[in-house]
A and B are shown apart, each in its own frame.
Chain A
Amino acid sequence: MRGQTIGAILAALVVLGGCSRCNDPGPCEGCPGEPTPYVLEVPPFFPPMDIPADNPLTVEGVALGRLLFWDVDLSVDRTLSCGSCHLPEHGFTDPNPYSFGVNGAVGTRNAMPLVNLGWAPSYFWDGRALTLEEQILEPVPHPDEMALPWPEAVARLAADPDYPDRFAHAFGDRTVTVERVAQAIAQFLRTMVSAESKFDRWRRGEATLTDSEFRGYQMFLREGGDPETTPGGQFGGDCFHCHTEAGLQFTDYLFRNNGLDPSFEADPGRAAVTGWALDSGKFKVPTLRNVALTGPYMHDGRFATLEAVIEHYNTGGVPSSTIDPFMKYQSGGLTLSAGQKADLLAFLHTLTDTAFVHRPEFSDPH
């Protein structure tokens, strides 16, 4: 009788729960259990990070993503991993203007630094990927990068003695798919949070800026130009408009033309994505976090040093149809003195997070 009652209750529960189980693929044999949630701590003054509901961070997923990120098996000739062009000591970017792919292929844009990517609303210099998962799909099969078609990449991972179990721990079963590879790497990248620069610590009241660094910070926040020639000018660096301090990411995530070229035949930038002429020559405003480590600079790596970057803004840039109105191309540039430029440079160095680039959990585990 007792067994019958339990049976009836179980049957009733099955009925009541039917609506939520109807898409269940069935029993999962050998499932290792639910993955362990990864608790990501959002640093002070940072905005919330929007993590896709279908790809929550898990300890197993992040660990798998790290392995995949550093795995040369994801390139056709087994010579390059994602990390080959995103080197920790260079702020997780490439010290070359253009990265070298397999077989000597050369890219067309400078590799972007990997830092605080979980807060970005788009990826690549032209913003053509709207999620990290989407972004990750591109470099592996790209002929100038890792040149490994995804079906082959999946086959390699599925044949590996270790990976299928790791996929099972991260995603519930041993199936290796392109989507899961992208999800795991995206999870790993979202954990790459930098918030331990000297500026961060100063902002939290844990460090002191030198006089030069503080003067540089004030210049960063002031309008640019000589007020005699530039209306509203405050002899500042005029950096804050685009590399906004709000949220401490030092970018507004918008696309701008900062006056590098008079025309855009070589690279249309954002316009290649939107098809809009007003976006010609515009590129994503990069974060300034770790900027002292991430040279060369600009989408094409044309400036080898930060000094050269500052000098570019100091002279105002080249006019064009889409140049940003913040550029002082008609009024002689920022006209900063040598001392002011040195102060600005000192401030930019306070954005270096040495602990971040040396964190063992981001390093090559192979």
Chain B
Amino acid sequence: MRISLLLLCGCVLLAFAGCVDPVRPYPSDLPGTVRLDLELRWNGAELALGDTAVDHLGHPVVLTNVQYYLNGLELRDASGTWHAVGDIHLVDFNREHPTAVEAVPAGTYTAMRFGVGIPKALNTDIDPASYPNDHPLSVLGSAGMFWTWSTGYIFLKYEGKAAVAEGSPIEEPISYHLGTDLSYRVITLPFAGPMQVDSREVTPVTVAFDGARMLSGPAGSIDVLTDPVSHNAPGTELPDRLLALLEDAFYLP
């Protein structure tokens, strides 16, 4: 009887003891978090899908769908070493305030870079159906961003409508889809000053994609009325012109 009671008490104590957290020192090597706030802009000003803007040629333009894959965020520390911290994200401006959140070692960083698109190893050889449904490359996660088995994912979609002139109906289609392995681009953006990431703190970084810069920039310009569609068709030069513009379309405001 006594043994039984002792056993019972022991078990009860054991059960309650399991609920108490031991005191541990605060770990200083826990990572921080970098949150990329991804914005759509037009000539530097914030733009929402559906807003009417005017392009470099005076054409009224309405963007109706802008999406891109942001892959493999890296941060450069003061020694010049790049730290890979990111995964694949589908940035979709149909959603409010798209973000990409990554765990980042605490430290000071001077620049960031990321890929726009899907790296070759993941682009065409893996069945989207093989991913869990909440993965950005899955059938559901990539909805509308997958071509076919041979050509893989659409890296960036830039869709909308334009008008010939102010006052005309805005119904000329714009449909730029960039993709295929050769279209993968790495965007490097230096920070204006050192960026400190503290352990267990969230550091926000705004990354802008400027729709106007996709149509006109240092690398050239595009008339949406004469070149309204590019779906990376072989033998056409419009994708190359768009890709050249793309590299200047991202910036840190």
- Does B132 count as interface, using CB distance less than 8 angstroms? yes
| B4 with A5: CB separation less than 8 A | yes
B 76-130 contacts with A by CB, 8 A: 127-130
Stretch of A77-85, A88-96, A163-171, A226-234 at the chain-chain interface: A226-234
Stretch of A29-37, A246-254, A336-344 at the chain-chain interface: A246-254
| B50 with A277: CB separation less than 8 A | yes
- Bound together, the chains give a CA A99 to CA B206 distance in angstroms of 50
Which of A232, A277, A327, A329 contacts B236 (CB under 8 A)?
A232
| A244 with B129: CB separation less than 8 A | no
- Does B138 count as interface, using CB distance less than 8 angstroms? yes
Which of A247, A254, A322 neighbours the largest number of chain B CB atoms within 10 Å of its CB?
A247
Dominant SS among interface residues on chain A = loop
- Does A319 count as interface, using CB distance less than 8 angstroms? yes
B 143-202 contacts with A by CB, 8 A: 143-144, 146-148, 159-161, 169-175
A266: B residues at CB distance < 8 A: none
Q: How many A-B residue pairs have CB under 8 A?
A: 117
| B146 with A12: CB separation less than 8 A | no
Which of B8, B50, B133, B236 contacts A278 (CB under 8 A)?
B50
- Does B142 count as interface, using CB distance less than 8 angstroms? yes
- Does A1 count as interface, using CB distance less than 8 angstroms? yes
- Does B227 count as interface, using CB distance less than 8 angstroms? yes
Contact with B along A1-34 (1 / 0, CB 8 A): 1001101110110011010000000000000000
Contact with B along A46-67 (1 / 0, CB 8 A): 1110100000000000000000
Which of B5, B64, B130, B227 contacts A8 (CB under 8 A)?
B5
| A252 with B144: CB separation less than 8 A | yes
| A8 with B4: CB separation less than 8 A | yes
Which chain B residue shows the least CB distance to A5?
B4
Which chain B residue shows the least CB distance to A238?
B231
Q: How far is the CB of A17 from chain B (nearest CB, A)?
A: 9
A223: B residues at CB distance < 8 A: 231, 233
| B170 with A321: CB separation less than 8 A | yes
Q: How far is the CB of B65 from chain A (nearest CB, A)?
A: 8
| B3 with A5: CB separation less than 8 A | yes
B 13-62 contacts with A by CB, 8 A: 14-15, 49-50
A247: B residues at CB distance < 8 A: 128-129, 139
Which of A230, A231, A248, A322 contacts B227 (CB under 8 A)?
A231
| A231 with B238: CB separation less than 8 A | yes
| A240 with B147: CB separation less than 8 A | yes
B1: A residues at CB distance < 8 A: 1, 4
Interface size class on chain A is 35 or more
A1: B residues at CB distance < 8 A: 1, 4
- Does A326 count as interface, using CB distance less than 8 angstroms? yes
A246: B residues at CB distance < 8 A: 127-129, 139, 142, 146
Residue total for B at the interface (Cβ-Cβ under 8 A): 47
- Bound together, the chains give a CA A121 to CA B144 distance in angstroms of 14
| A16 with B227: CB separation less than 8 A | no
Which chain A residue shows the least CB distance to B63?
A278
A322: B residues at CB distance < 8 A: 64
- Does B252 count as interface, using CB distance less than 8 angstroms? no
- Bound together, the chains give a CA A45 to CA B169 distance in angstroms of 44
| A48 with B133: CB separation less than 8 A | yes
A7: B residues at CB distance < 8 A: 4
| B50 with A8: CB separation less than 8 A | no
- Does A365 count as interface, using CB distance less than 8 angstroms? no
Q: A1-B1, A8-B7 are in contact. Are A45 and B173 (CB under 8 A)?
A: no
| A231 with B4: CB separation less than 8 A | no
- Does A351 count as interface, using CB distance less than 8 angstroms? no
- Bound together, the chains give a CA A48 to CA B128 distance in angstroms of 11
- Bound together, the chains give a CA A230 to CA B127 distance in angstroms of 30
A327: B residues at CB distance < 8 A: 173
B4: A residues at CB distance < 8 A: 1, 4-5, 7-8
- Bound together, the chains give a CA A248 to CA B15 distance in angstroms of 51
- Bound together, the chains give a CA A92 to CA B238 distance in angstroms of 45
Which of A5, A50, A240 contacts B7 (CB under 8 A)?
A5
Which of A242, A277, A322 neighbours the largest number of chain B CB atoms within 10 Å of its CB?
A322
Contact with B along A249-263 (1 / 0, CB 8 A): 100111000000000
- Does A210 count as interface, using CB distance less than 8 angstroms? no
- Does A149 count as interface, using CB distance less than 8 angstroms? no
| B140 with A319: CB separation less than 8 A | no
- Does A298 count as interface, using CB distance less than 8 angstroms? no
Known pairs A232-B233, A246-B128 / 8 extra A-B pairs, C-beta < 8 Å: A15-B12, A119-B140, A223-B231, A246-B129, A254-B144, A278-B49, A321-B161, A322-B64
- What are 6 A-B contacts with C-beta separation under 8 Å? A12-B15, A47-B130, A244-B144, A322-B64, A323-B173, A330-B171
Question: 8 closest A-B pairs (Cβ-Cβ)?
Answer: A12-B11, A247-B139, A325-B175, A8-B4, A231-B229, A325-B173, A232-B233, A47-B129
Q: Which residues of A contact B (CB under 8 A)?
A: 1, 4-5, 7-9, 11-12, 15-16, 18, 45-48, 50, 119, 121, 221, 223, 230-232, 234, 240-242, 244-249, 252-254, 276-278, 319-323, 325-327, 329-330
Q: Which residues of B contact A (CB under 8 A)?
A: 1, 3-5, 7-8, 11-12, 14-15, 49-50, 64, 127-133, 138-140, 142-144, 146-148, 159-161, 169-175, 227-231, 233, 236, 238
